[in-house]
Amino acid sequence: MQSEFLFFMQFFLTGLSMGSIYALVALGFVLIYKSTSILNLAQGEFLMVGAYICLSMTLDFGLNFIASFLLTMVFSVILGLAVERLALRPLIGEPIISVIMVTLGLTYILRGLVIMLWGNDIRQFNIFPQMPLDLWGVKIAYLYVWSMGISLVLLIFFAVFFKFARTGVFMRAVADHQTAAQSMGISVKRVFAISWCIAAVVSSIGGILIGNIGGVGVELSHFGLKVLPAVIFGGLDSILGAIIGGLVVGVLEFLSAGYLDPFIPALNEVFPFIVLVLVLMIKPYGLFGIEEIERV
Partner 1 sequence: MPAGLYHENYRSDERIFQTWFVRTWLIVFLILCAVLPLFVSKYMISILIEAGIAIIACHGLNLLTGFTGQISLGHAAFMGVGAYACSILIGQAGVPFIVALPAAGIITAMVGMVFGVPSLRLRGLYLAMATIAAQFIIEFVIRRWDKLTGGVEGMYVDPGTLGPLQFNHHIHLYYLTFVLAVAATMVTKNIIRSRSGRAFVAIRDRYLAAEVIGVHVFKYRLMSFAVSSFFAGIAGALLAQYLEVITHESFTIMQSVDYLAMCIIGGLGHIVGAIFGVAFWFILERLLEIVTTTLNSNFPDHITWFVSIREIVFGLVIILFLIFEPDGLAARWRSIRAYWKLWPFSY
The residues binding partner 1 (CB under 8 A) are 39, 87, 90-91, 94, 96-98, 100-102, 104-116, 119-120, 225, 228-229, 232, 236, 264-266, 269-270, 273-274, 276-277, 280-281, 284, 294, 296
Q: Who's near 239: CB < 8 A, 6+ residues apart?
A: 27, 30, 31, 34, 158, 159, 162
Shortest distance (Å) from residue 256 CB to partner 1: 13
Our CB check for partner 1 shows the closer of 58 and 268 to be: 268
Find the shortest distance in angstroms from Cβ 84 to partner 1: 13
Main-chain phi, psi angles of 269, to 5 degrees: -60, -40
CB of 107 to partner 1, least distance (A): 7
In the complex with partner 1, the residue whose CB is nearer, 70 or 100, is: 100
CB-based contacts of 34, cutoff 8 Å, min separation 6: 171, 175, 195, 237, 239
CB of 100 or CB of 169, closer to partner 1: 100
Interacting residues of 33 by C-beta distance below 8 A, sequence separation 6+: 39, 40, 231, 236, 237
Nearest Cα to Cα of residue 232 among 4, 78, 22: 22
Residue 188 Cβ, how far from partner 1 at the closest point, in Å?
20
Smaller CB distance to partner 1: residue 16 or 236? Answer: 236
Give the rounded distance of the alpha carbon of 220 from its chain centre: 12
Judged on CB neighbours under 10 Å (0-12, 13-18, 19+), 18 is buried
Least distance to partner 1, CB of residue 30, Å:
13
CB of 230 to partner 1, least distance (A): 12
**Of 18 and 99, CB closest to partner 1:** 99
Pick from 14, 16, 88, 76: nearest CA to 47: 76
DSSP string, 111-139: HHHHHHHH-S--B----S-SSEEEETTEE
Q: Considering only CA atoms, which of 45, 56, 70 is closest in space to residue 121?
A: 56
Nearer to partner 1, 1 or 281 (CB): 281
Euclidean distance between the first and the last CA atom of the chain, given in angstroms as a whole number: 58
Nearer to partner 1, 68 or 107 (CB): 107
Give the nearest distance from C-beta 200 to partner 1 in angstroms: 17
* Total H helices, total E strands in the chain: 12, 2
